[in-house]
Structure 1
Amino acid sequence: MPDHSMTPRHAVVVGGGLAGVTAALRLADEGVHVTLAEGRPRLGGLAFSFRRGSLTVDNGQHVYLRCCTAYRWFLDRVDGAALAPLQRRLDVPVLDVAAPHGPRLGRLRRSALPVPLHLAASLAGYPHLSLAERAGVGRAALALGRLDPADPALDGIDFATWLGRHGQSRRAIEALWDLVGVATLNATAADASMGLAAMVFKTGLLSEPGAADIGWARVPLGELHDTLARKALDSAGVRTELSTRVREITRGEGGRWHVDVDGERLDADTVVLAVPQREAHALLPDGALEDPDRLLDIGTAPILNIHVLYDRKVLRRPFFAALGTPVQWVFDRTEASGLPEGQYLALSQSAAQDEIDAPVAELRGRYLTELERLLPAARGAEVRDFFVTRERTATFAPSPGVGRLRPGARTRLPGLYLAGAWTATGWPATMESAVRSGFTAAGAALSALGRPHEHPLKEAV
């Protein structure tokens, strides 16, 4: 338990996404008085919900894996774990509509056997690769397991180059490596840092048998990341100010910090800046980073989300992935959205640079046709609504070389810390990375404030 008899300390957290909420909770849990300022009228950052008529709609499909221990801590901390359960065992239906003899279903599943045997049976029977390609994938996976994702040399090359050097065909990349990698990295293998790809595949598929089991919210994201998060913050004593834009952060006398918001100045012993990299660049005081313009060199990558409401049930599974079509991943969001009849499908399209600005009419024509190819039951169904959500800067771009651009939590100014999925967490731009960054920033701040603490995951502080 925190020692509240110690000299009161005050912190301001700028940004109410997962990174900022995590940092605020960790600081408050250790007895620091925290004010969280968020410019939007809600918490949750880019993992949020909105209303469309009577529906509650997520801005996009967000999933996590069993190996995402930090995000799982977050769910537990806000009392939301039961609302976003994990699969008992990894099971991903993969439908190839371009197969020679018509659409063919395969599955990526794990057994209870130890790594790497847990995926051996599934890979041996995976119909979307030839026998030689399956054997080649196994050899590449073993080579990948020997890599250190933190090796700076891996950050300098792209994943596709490494896969090519290890005998992976174009088909193997499409039907397996990119099937997973595009969804987790938000980039194809050709555009992804080998370091980040190694981290994803080594941690998710080669660390322990259940690491890649998939979890997702069975309720709107806003219930987890806004409603329950706000309740947790309130219970921890955090003062949460929504629709509050931070104008300037300055250092005052005696090492104190001033955070200017509309109509008020917030004074603090420490500040955690948990906003996107370009916004952080605009708010950073002089001298905070050796080269602050490097933040502007961290690129961004878009995600496009297609939302389709049918008058009847056209998909029996909760989700599936697709090959031989522009469609990537399809999720059934009917129950979570509150749709009383029919079915609501959400298509998550990562690495969507070529389509992010396409007109809705063009996307409607393309994706309704593709859904009819994938789902025979959709061919006679009435489309009651079709709409699109676009996140043009959904994630940082995981390009080769991005690792040297990502700053750590500590700045050169005592008492000022950075958080966000784009900081140096070792993870790609995921909910897991965001929460981990909140841990790191809060841990650094607590150490500087002289507050003994343990890392929530029992890792080194």
Structure 2
Amino acid sequence: MRHLTVIGGGLAGLTAAIAAAEAGVTVTLHEAHHTLGGRARTAPAPYRTNEGPHALYNGGPHWTWLQQRDLIGPLAPLPPLEGARLRLRYRGVLRRTPPFAMLKLLRPGIRRAPVDADFLTWAAELAGEEGARAAAHYCAVALFHHDPGALSAAFVQERLRRATKLPPEAHYPRGGWDSLVDRMAARAWNLGVRMETCSRVDTLPTGAPVIVATSLDAARRLLGDESLTWPSGRTALIDLAVRTRRGDAFAVSDLDAPGWIERFTAQDRTLAPAGEQLIQGQVPIGPHESRAAGVARAEQLLDLGLPGWRDRVTWRREAVADGRTGAVDPPGTSWRDRPAVDRGDGVYLAGDQVAAPGVLSEVSFTSALTAVSLALGRNTLDLEHA
């Protein structure tokens, strides 16, 4: 293989382009928008909001891959313990600690959850129904699904374990996700990757392997393959800037229903002007639930964690992320059952809803490396450590 085409300039597309170029392949990357980054874009100042919820976990092989190439860069530090103020809504009030029943599911040595059972049924046997529901709702921070208890027990357990790990695995690039995207783009450029923005591809090129690193919906349309579907979440998003006031919570997790709000400037003051705090709330909503209903639930969390926030608002934005928060696995399925990376005839998929392991953005990295290794006919492990 002498030439590879990559369609999509998000994290998956940039990873694929870098990995292939490092192997000596000539790469052309097409991005339909005028900027790279996909869903990892960050809005320009003064309010540097991410395009939807993101977190970069350090527990997967992608972290090593990024570190080896000096691509991670400065990370926003966790606020000091006295300023962290993580709060949990449980039975309608804020508390500092999770209910004891939920802690039963976090004990070391707990047995591995089955793939075939739903999480609520499995967890209720260990912690009771109330503890199981609280644990499932806490997982909204890494699932973005309106009913986590109905998903595969194995799928939810892994995310519960990693979302509650201490010290935390979740990290945020300082300055927003654009800083990571810019470093990856510079790496690709220095390797000779040709990156064409505002370049929408409607027909697959012929004569060379192609990696389609788009959303699954876009890949389905481009490839004309109706089998390219997989369930995802639907999430109401609210971004706020408020005037700073002492005592605001760093984050509030809703254990009564799925939902999470976080004050991102507690870690990274560069995301908003001096004297203001940038907050993002995400509340998973059902297929037929309105954005307004999700925003109303986010406002309830804000009322508890940031008293008087309504009188301090300087900027506000709302949106719905539908099918844009990664794959979720129903009972009886795992990542192996998702649409395969290898589509045949030299076409490969990469992204966060395809058959590759990992949590959140890890799936994009892993699937991209897998796609390149298949295109090159190489072992994935060799590629990751090249």
Band the TM-score falls in, shorter-chain normalisation: 0.7 to 0.9
- State the match for 1:111 in structure 2: none
Match of 2:220 among 268, 277, 281: 281
Q: 1:27 to 1:282 in 2, by over 3 A?
A: same
What does 1:419-430 correspond to in 2, within 5 Å?
A: 419-428=350-359, 430=360
What is the CA distance between 1:72 and its match in structure 2? 5.2
- State the match for 1:358 in structure 2: 291
Give distance in 2, aligned partners of 1:356 and 1:88: 37
Identity of aligned residues (%): 22
Tell me if the contact between 2:120 and 2:133 (Cα under 8 Å) persists in the aligned partners.
no
SS across alignment from 1:280: helix
Structure 2 runs not aligned, ≥5 long: none
- State the match for 1:118 in structure 2: none
Match of 2:241 among 291, 294, 309: 309
- State the match for 2:21 in structure 1: 28
What is the CA distance between 1:441 and its match in structure 2? 0.7
- State the match for 1:120 in structure 2: none
Tell me if the contact between 2:248 and 2:305 (Cα under 8 Å) persists in the aligned partners.
no
1:237-281 per-residue CA deviation (whole Å, 9 max, x = no partner) reads 100011111111154xxxxx2xxxxxxxxxx3x211111222222
Give distance in 1, aligned partners of 2:44 and 2:233: 25
Tell me if the contact between 1:372 and 1:379 (Cα under 8 Å) persists in the aligned partners.
yes
What is the CA distance between 1:169 and its match in structure 2? 2.3
Tell me whether 1:137 sits opposite 2:128 in the alignment: no
What is the CA distance between 1:355 and its match in structure 2? 8.6
- State the match for 1:170 in structure 2: 129
- State the match for 2:156 in structure 1: 197
What is the CA distance between 1:70 and its match in structure 2? 0.5
What is the CA distance between 1:393 and its match in structure 2? 1.9
What is the CA distance between 1:76 and its match in structure 2? 5.5
Letter of the 1:375 counterpart = L
The structure with the larger Rg is 1
Q: 1:81 to 1:348 in 2, by over 3 A?
A: farther
TM-score, normalization by structure 2: 0.84
Give distance in 1, aligned partners of 2:246 and 2:116: 44
- State the match for 1:371 in structure 2: 302
What does 1:225-374 correspond to in 2, within 5 Å?
A: 225=181, 227-249=182-204, 251=206, 257=207, 268=208, 270-284=209-223, 292-296=225-229, 298-315=230-247, 318-324=250-256, 327-333=259-265, 335-349=269-283, 351-353=284-286, 357-359=290-292, 367-374=298-305
The alignment's C-alpha RMSD in Å is 3.5
What is the CA distance between 1:431 and its match in structure 2? 0.7
Q: 1:26 to 1:366 in 2, by over 3 A?
A: closer
What is the CA distance between 1:381 and its match in structure 2? 4.4
Match of 1:382 among 302, 312, 336: 312
Q: 1:86 to 1:426 in 2, by over 3 A?
A: farther
Structure 1 runs not aligned, ≥5 long: 1-7, 107-127, 148-153, 252-256, 258-267, 286-291
- State the match for 2:94 in structure 1: 103
SS across alignment from 1:424: coil
Letter of the 1:215 counterpart = H
Q: 1:231 to 1:443 in 2, by over 3 A?
A: same
Tell me whether 1:157 sits opposite 2:90 in the alignment: no
Letter of the 2:109 counterpart = L
Tell me if the contact between 1:97 and 1:325 (Cα under 8 Å) persists in the aligned partners.
no
Match of 1:12 among 5, 12, 19: 5
